[in-house]
Amino acid sequence: MVRRLLGWCVALVLVTSVGCKKDGDKVAPDPEFSINVLATPEFWPREDKDFPLDEAGRITMEATLEDWGRPEVLRVIWTPDRRIMRQREMVESLERDGAGLRKPEFEWVYIDRMKVLRFRNNKMEERDLDARLLKVCELGDPNDVKIRKDPQTGLIVETFIYYGTGQILYFDQQSGALIREDQVTPTPGMLRRL
């Protein structure tokens, strides 16, 4: 499964970097850490690849970059509902729809300011960085994700499990707020569950 994911990530890099003029510089996630976030590469932004082609969109992004500076993290948006995608789900989607790969959307994440910037319709939209995305930026993708409805509160709870650190994080699925965190015995030798 990991080899398939790495293969698909290579294919994704090829799709997203066609026409790149810098010697092999590619913006692509490291699947060993996360397919949803990546540290902003040193060469970013590449004007020919990372800004929109239309004038208004380019001006908006350039002005934002000048005002805000470089983001610490780029968030990769894979799904129309903008959720954090599980690696297993990505592999299944790529196997099913692989011929239809398209360039993903990126959001700019400013951890020090606790803000996320999204560019849409030639405008910049700002929102608060929620605890769920912050944890993915810090820890990478969880090894396992479980979603259930809490019978007492009625909340839909999304549980992130990190085997290597023994962390179990519970989030309100709708708001991304951290509900609680448990610590169990780490199992660093356990295979990454996709």
Angle between helices 2-17 and 87-97 (to 10 degrees): 60
Do the domain assignments include residue 100? yes
Specify whether 65 is located in the same domain as 161.
no
Specify whether 83 is located in the same domain as 173.
no
The domain tally of the chain equals 2
Do the domain assignments include residue 188? no
The confidence score (pLDDT) of residue 130 equals 96
Question: Is residue 78 pLDDT above 50, yes or no?
Answer: yes
Do the domain assignments include residue 44? yes
Which amino acid, one-letter code, is at 17? Answer: S
Specify whether 105 is located in the same domain as 46.
yes
Specify whether 85 is located in the same domain as 32.
yes
Q: Higher confidence at residue 44 or residue 178?
A: 178
Question: Is residue 69 pLDDT above 90, yes or no?
Answer: yes
Chain-centroid distance, C-alpha 160: 15
Do the domain assignments include residue 190? no
Question: Is residue 20 pLDDT above 80, yes or no?
Answer: no
Query: Which residue range is the domain that position 132 belongs to?
Result: 2-137
Do the domain assignments include residue 17? yes
Do the domain assignments include residue 31? yes
The confidence score (pLDDT) of residue 15 equals 37
Q: Higher confidence at residue 98 or residue 101?
A: 98
Find where tokens 């994704």 sit: 12
Specify whether 38 is located in the same domain as 128.
yes
Do the domain assignments include residue 192? no
pLDDT digits (tens, 9 = 90+) for 112-133: 999 999 999 889 999 999 999 9
Over residues 184-193, the mean pLDDT reads: 71
pLDDT digits (tens, 9 = 90+) for 140-154: 999 989 999 999 999
Specify whether 63 is located in the same domain as 156.
no
How many CB atoms lie under 10 A from the CB of residue 116? 21
Specify whether 81 is located in the same domain as 94.
yes
Among 117, 137, 157, the domain boundary falls at 137
Do the domain assignments include residue 58? yes
> What backbone phi and psi angles, to 5 degrees, belong to 180?
-165, 165
Mean pLDDT value across the chain: 82
SS (HEC) of 149-170: ECCCCCCEEEEEEECCCCEEEE
Over residues 160-180, the mean pLDDT reads: 94
Specify whether 61 is located in the same domain as 119.
yes
Specify whether 133 is located in the same domain as 146.
no
Specify whether 32 is located in the same domain as 125.
yes
Specify whether 105 is located in the same domain as 130.
yes
The confidence score (pLDDT) of residue 13 equals 44
CA atoms of 1 and 7, how far apart (whole Å): 10
Specify whether 7 is located in the same domain as 50.
yes
Q: Higher confidence at residue 76 or residue 88?
A: 76
